[in-house]
Structure 1
Amino acid sequence: MATATGTQIAVHRTANGPVSKKIRQGAGPLTFLVTAQKGDWLKVHLPTRPNGATGWIPVEDVTLSTTPYRLVVSMDEHRLDLIEKGVRVRHYPIGVGKSTTPTPPGEYYLAELIRPPNPEGGYGPYAFGLSAHSDALTSYAGGPGQLGLHGTNRPDLIGRDVSHGCIRIANDVITELARTVPLGSPIVIQA
């Protein structure tokens, strides 16, 4: 995992190549999932469209760390697995996107952690912003259609295809995950 030392970072098309975009910090530290290193450059997943986008950032602009955690979503089983050091240590029931606004499968990461103002509201006490974006919506609730892993005020809907693409989970579970799993941790969404 790489966390920017500043509030924005220049992303390059290739290691030491031209700048393709600048990404600014959102609700928390600007964090990336590292997929490769080439000298003083890191290839990272980007929290932008299109899903799965990658780019290169200089090592000198980030602090590196590791995580023992990985999350795996099984949409057809409505289950989220918490993997620690390669071993499934917990599994939880979830709600996922409905047919008109499906949750896109792929390899993503936890990009930010938000504490909604109303912990009893629709997003629960915590919401992880994922690096994933909806393929069906270009915007949602004033944002860019970014997907989340969040709590819910409707636990009766967990176990179904009910959301606009986000992953819904019980409030006690999202609280546990927010206290345990760091930003930059991978989340794999399987169909």
Structure 2
Amino acid sequence: MTLRSVRSQSFSTLAVCLAAGALAGCGGAAGTGTSSSGGYVAAAMATSYPDTLPVQYRRQEVTDPTGEAPGTIVINTSDKFLYLVEPDGKAMRYGVGVGREGFGWTGEAKVGAKQEWPDWVPPAEMLQRRPELPLRMAGGPENPLGARALYLHRDGKDTLFRIHGTNEPKTIGQAMSSGCIRMVNFDVEDLYQRVPLGAKVVVR
């Protein structure tokens, strides 16, 4: 997987990119499979969209624009949409928030782990920029990873990038994250149920 920052810096591998500190990722603890956070497991599922979420960023089935195989997740960072490719030329489209300038990336990965109400562990680079952050935050409604997280892996290793929920729905449709892909909890819960471990993820 080749990643590129939106400042047009190119790196041959994800490992080089992370070592250079160009992309911080979102951190967060994850196991090797599907599990619930030990810190918070009692939260109710989201049942609707926030009133403030624009209609174009709400989930809808569309004609597949990606050309990828069914079951693939495709994220279009310029349009702020995530597509889950379905059979028969269709795709489920979700609105997302993406990495801000200097933290965007493109490439391929796989869903290596999934968690409900995940704990958040800020990566070292983020803690250097914001030392006031906690070393760990238990999962729950106030957690920045939201209700669900899909952990992106390459060659069996955690990339530190995630597709996750958010407690800041106003960031959907914007470039404000540290490289991770944000979804409203109502949508990330839906995606979580549809996507198995090992699913291919393409970020464009």
Match of 1:179 in 2: 193
1:94 maps onto 2:116 in alignment: no
Offset at residue 179 of structure 1 (A): 1.1
For residue 173 of structure 2, the aligned residue among 137, 159, 168 is 159
Offset at residue 84 of structure 1 (A): 1.6
> Which 4+ runs in 1 deviate beyond 4 A?
none
Structural mapping, 1:12-161, within 5 Å? 27-29=31-33, 68-85=70-87, 87-102=89-104, 104-115=105-116, 116=118, 117-131=139-153, 146-161=160-175
SS, match of residue 130 in structure 1? strand
Higher relative contact order (CA 8 A, sep 6+): 2
SS, match of residue 127 in structure 1? strand
Distance 1:121 1:29, change over 3 A: closer
Offset at residue 86 of structure 1 (A): 6.1
2:103 maps to a residue whose letter is T
Offset at residue 91 of structure 1 (A): 0.5
Q: Which has the higher strand share?
A: 1
Offset at residue 88 of structure 1 (A): 2.9
Q: CA deviation digits over 1:32-62, x for unaligned, max 9?
A: xxxxxxxxxxxxxxxxxxxxxxxxxxxxxxx
Match of 1:49 in 2: none
1:28 maps to a residue whose letter is T
Asked if the contact 2:152–2:159 (Cα under 8 Å) also holds between the matched residues in 1, the reply is no
Offset at residue 128 of structure 1 (A): 0.5
Given the two structures, how large is their TM-score scaled by the length of structure 2? Answer: 0.53
Q: Distance in 2 between the 1:167 and 1:124 partners?
A: 12
Match of 1:168 in 2: 182
State percent identity of aligned pairs.
Answer: 31
Match of 1:139 in 2: none
Asked if the contact 1:81–1:88 (Cα under 8 Å) also holds between the matched residues in 2, the reply is no
